Every structure is written in structure tokens, then in C-alpha cells.
């Protein structure tokens, strides 16, 4: 029988690691909390609380929640947004539509993995990017710190076997992840859900691979 996930323990441990992560001046310069002052990843929290019932074997990591905006809502409001988007109960307008969530939650391969009860989905960094661009690269230092501080402990504790790094931001990080896993897991770099052009997320089995550097 699979081991049930203890969601409170995982989220408590992640919150403690986020505090350590946020002590870096590079992190505070790049990322900001939500409107309630909390530095967290609502996508991960939603997945832990609602979808991942057993110790995870799969990890899907996107880049970041969003760019810095005037109104970014609280973590609690964003948790409700995730739930409504996944369950198709969100009133879809130009303001509520999100291409990343639309493809992540509604493409068969990724929806099936999230529904498997053995999958964690989240962003490699918590909070909001202090930038007016929708997408972009936060820098090697930020991603390396996030991997070691936030995600390597999770991967090691649950012995996660499949890691999907989604977006061009992950091309360089993948080598580091593989070296730490010592070939124990499968690390794939896919295009981001919001990618446009030659690379597609919504392929039949899984999205396009990205050439790594």
C-alpha cells in the first residue's frame, strides 16, 4: 500500500525552507510576497491540500506564479482560483483566463498526472516576480538557491522518480538536478505551458522537449 502524504508536515517544512530562502538579498530583490504579505506558492499549496494524497513520485515545476502587478490577491484567494480553474467552476473572462493554467490543468497528460494522487505541481520559486514582464529568466543564482533550499529536500525525502522542469529557464538547472539525483530519477526539460511558436505543451502524450545547455 502506498504511504499517505502528510500535507501539514510538508507545507510546514516548505514554509520553514522559504524563510531561509528569503534571507538572500538576491531573492528579496527578485521576488515579493502576495497582498497578504505571505511568500508562498499557491499552486504547490493547492496541489498538496487537494490533489497529492500519497507520497509523490512525480514533480512538475514551472517557473514562477506571475509577474508583479498592482493587485495580486492573497494566497487564500489564489488557492480558490486554482481550485476553480481546475474544476471548471471559474467564470472565464479576459481577466481570469490564464494560458499556463488552461494548458496545465486541461491538457490530458498533465491533468492525468495531477489527478494521479502521486504528483506535486508547483513553481520553482514562491511569491511574485518583481518585474512587469509576464515571462522571463530570474537568474542562475535564484534557481540554484531554490533547488537546493526548497526542492532537493522534498525530492530526497520522497525519493521522487520523475521530475518535469517546464520552460526554457530550466535548461541549465537540469544538469545540476541530475548530478544531485545520481541518475536515480528521470529529469526532463519540457516547454512551458504558456509557450508559443514551435514548441507545444498540449501534445497527445507529453509536451515538446527543449534542447538543454
Q: How far apart are CA 63 and CA 132, in angstroms?
A: 15
In DSSP terms, which residues pair with 60 in a beta bridge?
121, 164
pTM listed for this prediction: 0.96
Domain that holds residue 115: 7-161+179-187
Q: Residue 198 domain-assigned?
A: no
Would you state the pLDDT for residue 71? 66
Q: What is the mean pLDDT of residues 112-128?
A: 98
Q: Residue 173 domain-assigned?
A: no
Per-residue pLDDT tens digits for 9-68: 999 999 999 999 999 999 999 999 999 999 999 999 999 999 999 999 999 999 999 987
Cell digits of residue 57: 513520485
Q: Residue 136 domain-assigned?
A: yes
Per-residue pLDDT tens digits for 160-195: 999 999 999 999 999 999 998 875 679 999 999 998
Q: Could you give the number of structural domains in the chain?
A: 1
Q: Residue 168 domain-assigned?
A: no
Torsion angle defined by CA atoms of residues 44, 49, 54 and 57, in that order, rounded to the nearest 10 degrees: -10
Q: Residue 117 domain-assigned?
A: yes
pLDDT of residue 134 exceeding 70: no
Q: Residue 210 domain-assigned?
A: no
Per-residue 3-state assignment (H helix, E strand, C coil) for the chain: CCCECCHHHHHHHHHHHHHHHCCCHHHHHHEECCCCCCCCCHHHHHHHHHCCCECCCEEEEECCCCECCCCCCCHHHHHHHHHHHHCCCCCCCCCCCCHHHHHHHHCHHHHHHHHCCCEEEEECCCCEECCCCCCCCCCHHHHHHHHHHHHHHHHHHHCCCEEEEECHHHCCHHHHHHHHHCCCCEEEEECCCCCCCCCCCCCCCCCCECCCC
Would you state the pLDDT for residue 70? 60
Would you state the pLDDT for residue 132? 78
Q: Residue 74 domain-assigned?
A: yes
Q: Residue 100 domain-assigned?
A: yes
Amino acid at each position: 500500500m502506498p504511504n499517505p502524504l502528510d500535507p501539514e508536515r510538508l507545507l510546514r517544512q516548505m514554509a520553514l525552507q522559504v524563510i531561509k530562502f528569503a534571507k538572500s538579498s538576491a531573492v528579496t530583490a527578485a521576488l515579493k510576497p502576495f497582498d497578504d504579505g505571505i511568500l508562498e506558492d499557491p499552486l504547490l499549496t493547492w496541489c498538496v491540500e487537494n490533489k497529492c494524497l500519497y507520497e509523490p513520485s512525480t514533480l512538475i515545476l514551472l517557473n514562477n506564479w506571475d509577474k508583479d502587478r498592482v493587485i495580486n490577491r492573497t494566497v487564500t484567494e489564489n488557492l480558490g482560483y486554482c481550485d476553480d480553474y481546475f474544476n471548471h467552476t471559474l467564470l472565464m473572462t479576459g481577466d481570469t483566463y490564464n494560458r499556463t493554467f488552461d494548458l496545465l490543468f486541461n491538457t490530458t497528460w498533465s491533468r492525468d498526472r495531477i489527478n494521479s494522487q502521486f504528483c506535486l505541481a508547483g513553481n520553482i520559486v514562491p511569491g511574485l516576480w518583481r518585474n512587469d514582464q509576464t515571462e522571463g529568466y530570474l537568474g542562475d543564482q535564484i534557481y540554484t538557491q531554490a533547488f537546493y533550499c526548497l526542492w532537493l529536500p522534498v525530492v530526497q525525502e520522497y525519493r521522487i522518480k520523475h521530475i518535469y522542469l517546464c520552460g526554457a529557464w530550466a535548461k541549465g538547472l537540469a544538469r545540476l538536478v541530475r548530478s544531485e539525483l545520481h541518475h536515480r530519477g528521470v529529469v526532463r526539460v519540457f516547454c512551458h505551458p504558456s509557450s508559443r511558436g514551435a514548441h507545444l505543451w498540449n501534445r497527445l502524450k507529453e509536451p515538446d522537449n527543449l534542447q538543454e545547455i
